[in-house]
């Protein structure tokens, strides 16, 4: 079945100026829909990290969100370069971010950790040289 997205947003590589726009927009949408505030908080954290990861680490990509019976689904898809060592990437404190990015308070090796901790279901597909696709689900109850 084709998903009907409530949010679909292109995220450009290195576009820190717009960091947080997709997650803010999703947060506003969910608030208008009357979604529970704890669910919104989890969704905002996960979406923000996914969005920033595209900005910091990828060649650009998309953030999409849908609501289904399972909950709020957030999809992140980027144009590469893929995550070379997925196991390491999930270790708190591990990051491949540049010093410049770290000085801004990013790249602390906590992004994927937050994504994992605040989503109820998580699927990561990554291929070096191709890209990464992530689906995170936050249950409504």
Partner 1 sequence: MKVREVIEKLELEVITATHPGKEVRGGYSGDLLSNVMAKAGKGDLWLTIQGHQNVVAVALLTGVAAVIIVENLEVEKEAIQKAEEKGVNLLRSKLSAYQLGGRLYQMGIR
Residue 137: which of 55, 76, 61 has the closest Cα?
76
Q: Binder to partner 1 among 67, 97, 110, 124 (CB under 8 A)?
A: 110
The least distance separating partner 1 from the CB of residue 101, rounded to whole angstroms, comes to 11
Q: Does residue 106 touch partner 1 according to CB under 8 A?
A: yes
d(CA 23, CA 45): 8
| Part in contact with partner 1 (CB under 8 A); list of ranges 63-71, 98-106, 121-129, 131-139 | 98-106
Strands (E), 25-130: 61-68, 71-78, 121-127
Counting contacts by CB under 8 A, is residue 100 touching partner 1? no
d(CA 140, CA 12): 30
Q: Considering the complex, what minimum distance in angstroms separates the CB of residue 117 from partner 1? A: 7
Residues in 38-77 at the binding interface with partner 1, rule: CB under 8 A = 44-45, 48-49, 52
Q: Is 25 a residue that touches partner 1 (CB under 8 A)?
A: no
The residue behind tokens 């109820």 is 120
Tell me whether residue 19 or residue 131 sits nearer to partner 1 (CB atom).
Answer: 19
105 binds partner 1, rule: CB under 8 A = yes
Contact, 63 vs 11, CB < 8 A? Answer: yes
Cα distance between residue 92 and residue 135, in whole Å = 20
Burial 72-94 (b: 16+ CB within 10 A, else e): bbbbbbbebbbbeeeeebbeeee
Give min distance, CB of 84 to partner 1, in A: 20
**Which residues here bind partner 1, judged by CB under 8 A?**
16-17, 19-21, 23-24, 27, 37, 44-45, 48-49, 52, 104-106, 108, 110-111, 113-114, 117-118
């Amino acid at each position: 079945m084709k998903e009907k997205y409530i949010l679909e947003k292109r995220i450009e590589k290195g576009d820190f100026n717009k960091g947080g726009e997709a997650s803010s927009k999703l947060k506003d949408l969910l608030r208008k829909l009357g979604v529970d505030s704890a669910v919104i908080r989890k969704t905002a954290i996960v979406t923000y990290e996914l969005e920033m990861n595209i900005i910091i680490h990828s060649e650009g990509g998309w953030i999409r969100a849908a609501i289904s019976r399972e909950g709020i689904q957030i999809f992140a898809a980027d144009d590469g370069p893929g995550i070379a060592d997925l196991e390491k990437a999930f270790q708190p404190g591990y990051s491949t971010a540049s010093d410049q990015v770290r000085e801004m308070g990013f790249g602390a090796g906590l992004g994927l950790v937050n994504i994992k901790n605040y989503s109820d279901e998580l699927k990561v597909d990554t291929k070096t040289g191709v890209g990464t696709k992530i689906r995170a689900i936050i249950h409504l109850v």
